[in-house]
């Protein structure tokens, strides 16, 4: 899948590779791209109901009153085959597609990882709520457990005439977050991200997983899988050419999930 998220991650990774030579020797670098399998806009009354709760993903600060919301996105890796156990993850990117409304408004957001993947994000779970007049991490219901920060950025609304604009957010998996994503991809489980509004005026509006007209939320990263020393080097276009002396015996194999 030659989508922008994969290309963006590849460019970011080109720099990381050149400084990670010892780690990547005799390793397979596997670009993984996955589209969201589910999502929810969690408001004070619970996950947004009806079809728009799945077709769209809104992250709105406390100034939006009853529409205040944080977002939850799930990604399934049930069909992922890496050919071995991943030991690291590099170049994480979250791609979201703008679907702007009259109330869309620029503002800061943050992305977290939640290991509470068993908690329902369906509208029937009215016990999952946006917390009062809070913003940032404090806006997230404690039912989603302890969250690990992956990255922060800004939503810059481009207006309804520019629907389809793709926003990219860099993520770094370290510590407990790295342990969680490695367990997820090695056991073919589900990854859950939580996006918070970091200002009362933030009103970020993106396409959800089921709209179909515009691209859904997409995650891209590189899984590092050790390989036998006898394995041959496989190139991935100009990226390998540019960094081949630093990479050593690393090779790229692209895996795409639905």
54: part of which helix (H) or strand (E)? helix 52-55
For 83, which DSSP code?
S
Within 8 A by CB and 6+ apart from 206, the residues are 56, 57, 58, 59, 71, 96, 97, 98, 99, 167, 217
Q: Is the confidence at residue 223, as pLDDT, over 90?
A: yes
Average pLDDT of the segment spanning 235-243: 45
At 6-21, the pLDDT tens digits run: 455 554 555 455 545 4
At 110-161, the pLDDT tens digits run: 999 999 999 999 999 999 999 999 999 999 999 999 999 999 999 998 888 7
- For the entire predicted model, the pTM comes to 0.83
Average pLDDT of the segment spanning 22-41: 88
Q: What is the residue whose two structure tokens read 């990479």?
A: 247
Q: Is the confidence at residue 237, as pLDDT, over 50?
A: no
Q: Is the confidence at residue 186, as pLDDT, over 80?
A: yes
Q: Choose the weakest-confidence range: 22-31, 124-133, 146-155, 241-250.
A: 241-250
What's the confidence (pLDDT) of residue 16? Answer: 55
What's the confidence (pLDDT) of residue 20? Answer: 54
Residue 248 or residue 226, greater confidence: 226
Q: Domains of the chain: which residue ranges?
A: 4-256
What's the confidence (pLDDT) of residue 162? Answer: 79
Average pLDDT of the segment spanning 165-188: 97
Q: Choose the weakest-confidence range: 125-129, 162-166, 197-201, 254-258.
A: 254-258
What's the confidence (pLDDT) of residue 228? Answer: 59
Within 8 A by CB and 6+ apart from 84, the residues are 28, 225, 226, 227
What's the confidence (pLDDT) of residue 27? Answer: 85
pLDDT averaged over every residue in the chain: 86
């Amino acid at each position: 899948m030659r989508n922008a998220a994969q290309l963006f991650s590849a460019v970011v990774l080109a720099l990381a590779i050149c400084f990670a030579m010892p780690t990547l020797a005799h390793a397979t670098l596997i670009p993984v791209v996955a589209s969201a399998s589910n999502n929810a806009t969690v408001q004070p009354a619970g996950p947004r109901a009806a079809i728009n709760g799945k077709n769209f993903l809104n992250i709105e600060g406390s100034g939006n009153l009853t529409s205040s919301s944080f977002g939850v996105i799930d990604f399934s890796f049930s069909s992922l085959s890496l050919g071995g156990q991943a030991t690291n993850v590099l170049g994480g990117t979250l791609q979201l597609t703008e679907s702007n409304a009259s109330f869309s408004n620029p503002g800061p957001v943050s992305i977290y990882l939640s290991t509470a993947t068993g908690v329902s994000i369906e509208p029937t779970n009215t016990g999952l709520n946006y917390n009062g007049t809070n913003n940032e991490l404090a806006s997230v219901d404690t039912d989603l457990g302890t969250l690990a920060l992956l990255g922060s950025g800004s939503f810059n609304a481009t207006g309804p005439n520019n629907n389809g604009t793709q926003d990219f957010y860099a993520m770094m998996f370290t510590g407990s977050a790295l342990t969680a994503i490695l367990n997820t991809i090695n056991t073919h489980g589900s990854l859950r991200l939580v996006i918070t509004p970091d200002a009362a005026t933030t009103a970020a509006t993106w396409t959800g997983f089921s709209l179909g007209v515009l691209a859904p939320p997409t995650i891209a990263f590189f899984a590092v899988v050790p390989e036998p020393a006898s394995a041959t080097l496989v190139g991935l276009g100009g990226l390998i050419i540019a960094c081949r002396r630093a990479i050593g015996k690393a090779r790229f194999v692209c895996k795409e999930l639905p």
